[in-house]
Amino acid sequence: MPFPEVQRVLYHRNPLNQVVCQLRFSPILKIDAEVPAAFQDKVRGFFCNFAETAEWNVEVQSPEAGILPPDLLRQAIQSVAGKNYEFSSEDGQWKINLTRTFVALTATKYERWEQFKDKLIIPFQALIDVYSPEHLSRIGLRYVDVINRLKLGLVGVEWKELLQPYILGVLSSPVGDNVSAFESKYEIKLSDQLSLVRILTKFVKEADTGELCYMIDSDFFNAHKTPVD
């Protein structure tokens, strides 16, 4: 990666809100056509809970959609429902989502990569065994940190004392104390010249307390075809 080497640190109070790994593939219609019983058998040793929802995608059939009258536009819209199967752990802190175009693993209590990788192997191997995708069209690993100074026991500590200037942007400048809303988004090419990381930083508010928090949403991804061996 084009970032300086740093010593690995494991935090007792981890600011990670969630970690998601999503593996996308060409549509497999079998996933929509039948219940994923064979897939469930391979994951339910840990992911014992099951739920099914529908994903709705609106497809506009005409390139003239922007100029069509409302009545004709409504006729040109076709709603297509896709199934989203969810397999979760007993404590709800780990979740698999399976659709006809991706499988994803979400963790809301992340401790370290090795633990996450061990859990990720479960749905990935089940996908290979049951549905045999030829390749992955996109591999994404997303870390969402939400730094809540109240929960971390850091009330009154300024953001510039907690975060590096390159992450804070204008918040690290002399006018930082007067910034009431903030959002920054950028992409960085990684060392392999194929992968990118898309980083979004912004202020967010904690739903229950209204505490002002700082979110760092880092989406590492490779959108090139990767053979499944």
Q: What confidence tens digit (pLDDT) does each residue in 166-212 have? A: 899 888 888 888 888 889 999 999 988 899 999 999 999 998 889 99
H or E element that contains 75: helix 70-75
Same domain for 132 and 145? no
Cα separation, 178 vs 201, in Å, equals 17
Cα separation, 102 vs 28, in Å, equals 9
Same domain for 123 and 49? yes
pLDDT over 90, % of the chain: 66
**What value does the mean pLDDT take over residues 151-155?**
91
Same domain for 180 and 115? no
Cα separation, 171 vs 164, in Å, equals 10
Same domain for 65 and 95? yes
State which of 136, 154, 170 marks the end of a domain. 136
Q: What are 56's strand-pairing partners? A: 81
Cα separation, 91 vs 46, in Å, equals 10
Number of domains in the chain: 2
Judge whether 68 and 111 are in contact, CB under 8 Å: no
Specify if 37 maps to a domain: yes
| Mean pLDDT over each residue of the chain, to the nearest integer | 88
Same domain for 125 and 31? yes
Strands (E), the chain: 16-24, 49-60, 77-88, 94-98, 102-107, 135-136, 138-147, 183-189, 196-205, 212-222, 226-227
Specify if 8 maps to a domain: no
State which of 136, 170, 204 marks the end of a domain. 136
| Residue 158: domain span | 141-223
Specify if 4 maps to a domain: no
**What value does the mean pLDDT take over residues 47-67?**
68
Same domain for 113 and 201? no
Specify if 13 maps to a domain: no
Same domain for 99 and 165? no
How far is the CA of 228 from the CAs of 8, 65, 224, in angstroms? 30, 38, 13
State which of 121, 136, 151 marks the end of a domain. 136
